[in-house]
Amino acid sequence: MTSALTWQQLRDLKLSELDEAADGWAKVSHHADASAERVDAEMAGKLSKTQESESAKAAVRRLRRLSRNYHYIHAECGLIRSSLNGLACELGPPQKRLKEALDDATTLSYTVNEDGSIGYPAGGKDEMTGERIPGGSAVGNNGMLTPDNNGLHPPSDEGLYTPGTGPGTPGLINPNPHRAKAQDIADRIAHALREAREIDERYGQALGKLKAGPGLKVDAKTWADAAADVKAVGDAATAYLKGGIPLDKSPAARKDWWDHLTQEQREEYLAVYPDVMGNLDGIPATVRDEANRENIQLLIGKLSGQDDEESKTLLDGLKGIQEKLQEPSEPPMYLLGIGDEGNGRAIVSYGNPDTAKNVSAYVPGLSTRLDGEFAGGTMKRAQDTALGAREADPHSSTASIVWLGYDAPQVSPSDLAANTDVMFRENAEAGAPAYNSFMAGISATNENKDPHITAIGHSYGSLTVGLAAQEKGGVPGVDDIVLVGSPGTGAKTADDLNVGKHHVFVGAADNDIVTKLPNHHEASGMGAGAAGGGSAGLVLGLGMGGPLGGVVGGTAGTVVGGVAGYMAQDQQTDPSQIWFGTDPANKTFGATRFLVDDGPPVTEGGFDAHSHYFTPTKDQMSADNIAKIVVGKSDEIVLEQPR
């Protein structure tokens, strides 16, 4: 669409009426938001806690649907409100410049023509003819601006003049004293109108997209349309809103920025940029949670119409988190980050990290991604830690976070056993600065004078935490570091992690092969063992179960053979060195090793020993030790001798 805004309309436009309209839409948005909260808390929430019949469950589903409808109204009305506010705000400066130019024309008794050109009277004397120089009309230059005239208007041919006929012949200066003044006014009018038309067109296109489909059902398609609406308004309001977000500032500076915004400004940022605000370190947890509860709906809508496997996997993960958000949770859930970049992003806290005295942030490792297993598996580990911390110290509040803010390697322990070349440092190197930024945000927003903060790394996540800890200043605000199932941290000793070696704690199950990954010299022995074991397993499997048995036998043989190869080679090399440096469980590293269950051997339980550290039903000792460290009671943990 092309704006047909005239200078007369721009002059007469009452921006206050746009602001009043925005306020009206804001009231509708607030009312819808309050209604959604009432449905969730006072109706669906109470019903789900007190009734277990099928009819009650059906009623809860209907109430959830009603809540989504209110949520959609809240989101769309918020976008309309922000669009109108942005339109009024951005039209203000060009309208002001237009009125100033018109006032100057009135003062000089010039005529403002309907097309915006400026008529000026005769003036001065033509030295060649002795007659008065005739008046004329100056047409504003509507081209691009240059630095001339302080950027207020572009250069023009205002001084070009042919004696007796007015402007036209290059090189001759028009001696009519009114000519230059009229041209300046005409240029200012043209510039103001051009800028206003661009603003009008930009917001007009965005507002034109804000149309709800027919019917009362708010489904994935509706949210996909809402996601497009958010993008449209976000693009339109870049100058009005997005430019003000301190994306390049520290989390502490962002917290200060947020604290000084008005309530209206906060609401607009949340309405127009939920994806940015929900993932901005330094913004309060309740605000991030509010933004991300909307953003997860938008992402589900966006991905629902895509058929590729990557989108389907991410969609499963998003829906899993959304289902958890809709259920009662103990401790309460806060969605601190969500996104579809890479293998997916998700940051979930059990407990409010801004008010909790104890905060832990756990980085998961190998094969973790935003998929159907994330909500029931990875998130459950963080919840188990929060519940364990409550038992360890009932008088102190705890928030337990799972931080999937990076792309973990998509390999399993069995992949590593067969081929150690599949794991590199790049993912952890990319994740370490992002983790430190998040932790700086936790320190900035926590309301306690001296919170106890613990960084936890599991599996490859321990390398991410380790590299983060080795950056200048270490992990911001962290008191203790816990490493479990670690293939190494990239550090030689615990002192390299910047919290003091007595504040670094390690859990390593004897049957967890990831904690015994070979160093680069040992890898050749492991590879040879894997190859031999795979061949033997294949022959045995074919003899017992045909082609399928051969596949299974070959895989198992590869793993077992790889382990055997490693064990043989390990006898000839430095046992303190594993894949990513010194073994954190080795005495040369200098950390405190706590007792964990050995876990089942690879030949019996596969790689279960690598995944049980947080789960009380699988390894109560490890889970209890981690919980005690998180609440600052590391002096009560049960120790184990280093390797």
pLDDT tens-place string over residues 323-357:
999 888 999 999 999 999 999 999 999 999 999 99
Backbone angles phi, psi at 459, to 5 degrees: 60, -130
State mean pLDDT over 74-84. Answer: 95
Residues belonging to the chain: 643
pLDDT-based confidence at 450, cuts 50/70/90?
very high
Write down the pLDDT at residue 203.
Answer: 96
State mean pLDDT over 216-230. Answer: 88
Closest by CA position to 518, among listed 558, 493, 487, 492: 487
- Rounded to whole angstroms, the maximal C-alpha distance in the chain is 118
pLDDT-based confidence at 541, cuts 50/70/90?
very low
Write down the pLDDT at residue 365.
Answer: 94
State mean pLDDT over 518-529. Answer: 55
pLDDT-based confidence at 206, cuts 50/70/90?
very high
> What proportion of the chain, given as a percentage, has pLDDT over 70?
84
How many CB atoms are closer than 10 A to CB 587?
12
pLDDT-based confidence at 76, cuts 50/70/90?
very high
State mean pLDDT over 234-257. Answer: 96
Write down the pLDDT at residue 83.
Answer: 96
Task: Report how far residue 32's alpha carbon sits from residue 36's, in angstroms, rounded to the nearest whole number.
Answer: 6
Residue with the larger pLDDT of the pair 550 and 465? 465
Out of 282-286, 447-451, 572-576, least confident range: 572-576
pLDDT of 466 over the 50 cut: yes
**CA distance to 223, 238, 296, per residue, from 235 (Å):** 18, 5, 20
The predicted-structure confidence for 570-597, as pLDDT tens digits, reads as follows 555 677 888 899 999 999 999 999 999 9
pLDDT of 443 over the 90 cut: yes
Instruction: Look at phi and psi of residue 166 and say left if phi exceeds 0, alpha if psi is from -120 to 50, else beta.
Output: left
State mean pLDDT over 536-551. Answer: 35
* pTM of the shown model: 0.85
Q: Which residue has the tokens 């832990």?
A: 360
pLDDT-based confidence at 420, cuts 50/70/90?
low
| Cα four-point dihedral sign 214, 218, 223, 224 | negative
pLDDT of 155 over the 50 cut: no
Q: Which residues, including other chains, have CB under 8 Å from residue 162's CB and lie 6 or more apart?
A: 168, 169, 172
Classify strands 345-350 and 398-404 as parallel, antiparallel or unpaired: antiparallel
pLDDT of 282 over the 70 cut: yes
Angle formed at CA 63 by CA 58 and CA 65, multiple of 5 degrees: 95
pLDDT-based confidence at 433, cuts 50/70/90?
very high
In the DSSP assignment, the letter for residue 77 is H
pLDDT of 179 over the 90 cut: yes
pLDDT of 127 over the 90 cut: no
Residue with the larger pLDDT of the pair 591 and 607? 591
Closest by CA position to 119, among listed 99, 97, 134, 100: 134
Write down the pLDDT at residue 549.
Answer: 35
Backbone angles phi, psi at 13, to 5 degrees: -65, 130
pLDDT of 145 over the 50 cut: no
pLDDT-based confidence at 263, cuts 50/70/90?
very high
Write down the pLDDT at residue 424.
Answer: 84
How many CB atoms are closer than 10 A to CB 132?
13
Write down the pLDDT at residue 132.
Answer: 87
pLDDT-based confidence at 536, cuts 50/70/90?
very low
Backbone angles phi, psi at 333, to 5 degrees: -90, 145
Out of 129-133, 190-194, 233-237, 562-566, least confident range: 562-566
State mean pLDDT over 463-478. Answer: 97
The answer to whether the beta carbons of residues 501 and 480 sit under 8 Å apart is: no
Closest by CA position to 189, among listed 301, 110, 271: 110
Residue with the larger pLDDT of the pair 168 and 221? 221
- Tokens representing 89? 């705000």
pLDDT of 557 over the 80 cut: no
Q: What is the mean pLDDT of the chain?
A: 87
Out of 305-319, 444-458, 506-520, least confident range: 506-520
State mean pLDDT over 133-161. Answer: 57
The answer to whether the beta carbons of residues 275 and 293 sit under 8 Å apart is: no
